[in-house]
Amino acid sequence: MLYFPSQFVSTYLNSRILLFFTGVIPIFLMPFWAPSMGLATQIVIFALFGLSFNILFGYTGLLSFGHAAFFGLGAYASALCLKHLDLNVWSSLGIAMVLAAILALIIGFLSLRLSGLAFAFVTLAFAEMIYFIFFHWRSLTGGDDGLTLIPVPKVSIVGIISFGLTNPFARYYFILAVVIIAYVAIYLILNSPFGKVLRGIRENPERTAFLGYNVSLYRLISFILSGSFSGMAGALFALHLNFVPIQSLHWSTSGHVVVLTLIGGSRFFLGPALGSLVIMLIEDWVNIWFEQWELVVGIFFVVVVLFIPIGLAGIFEKLREQFLIKDGLNVLRDVSREKENRKINSL
């Protein structure tokens, strides 16, 4: 009886080890194989932005076209804290998340009365309003020139370890560490009873409400969490560039995160990360050869949506399931043979 469980556990662990070597290690080594250090850092940041957006889209079932507002606000808030208030990195990240959460609370409270495309376009309208406020508030934000001359801070961990972020490797691994912590936090949230209610709302909000859950409240909390973590991604973006472009608030940034999430797979936790990796590598490579690189990315997006609607992560998930099923069938076969051998030996 002990043979089957041990073999099954071994098969399951083999799939996890395969995921580790094909997914985790390349991310840690990305500065050594990516076309540039800046691109590697940007991939990691947009992986967090994509997952933050997917809390609302993939797990709650609400499409927003206005997430650039939270991303850009986080970037500006962090940069202004570092430039004018002389705060440390951790305080600037915290303030960026809090301000993005407050903005998400306001926009969510006003827009969640709607659903579907109406909700999506209202969030876009709010985001454009934020964009024009920051665009014309030149004395604070720099207007269309963006916010420049952001000081490069030092990072202190528990007052023991201290290092600067001028070194690109140090900056990459610091941002990667923060993103991993955020991913773990989001994973715990989405796999808690709260996350299960969100999935219930995505599948059938009427039935979820019938079970006694306040659907409007859960949607609002999901919107706030999504906005807050988007603000964190924006703050990391400001740290990465030492500059905040006004384009961080532009509608195209909202469109970018929607595209990478759909390409990666909105129903999978790591889908946005995979989408960020694929889209940004394609953009970088195509931009070398073609001036109209957006056309190539657009064609790729259409092909994925039409022929792989579950996203690229869905392909890997199906391969993993087939791997487990195949090995599971082999285990059952071995168990059957073992039983037959025991019967023969007992005779």
Residue 323 has pLDDT above 90, yes or no: no
Q: What is the pLDDT of residues 88-125, one digit of tens each?
A: 999 999 999 999 999 999 999 999 999 889 999 999 99
CA distances for 89 relative to 70, 114, 229, 238, 303, angstroms? 18, 37, 16, 11, 41
Name the residue ranges covered by the structural domains of the chain: 37-250
Residue 13 has pLDDT above 90, yes or no: no
Residue 1 has pLDDT above 50, yes or no: no
* pLDDT average, residue stretch 153-176: 89
Name the pLDDT band for 4 (thresholds 50, 70, 90): very low
Residue 163 has pLDDT above 90, yes or no: no
pTM here? 0.88
Name the pLDDT band for 8 (thresholds 50, 70, 90): very low
pLDDT for the residue 345? 61
- H helices present in the chain, as ranges: 3-19, 25-28, 30-33, 37-57, 68-84, 89-111, 116-136, 138-141, 168-190, 193-203, 205-210, 215-241, 251-264, 271-289, 293-307, 312-346
Q: What is the pLDDT of residues 41-92, one digit of tens each?
A: 999 999 999 999 999 999 999 999 999 999 999 999 999 999 999 899 999 9
CA distances for 280 relative to 21, 25, 42, 80, angstroms? 21, 19, 8, 28
Instruction: Yes or no: say if 306 and 263 are a contact pair by the CB < 8 Å rule.
Output: no
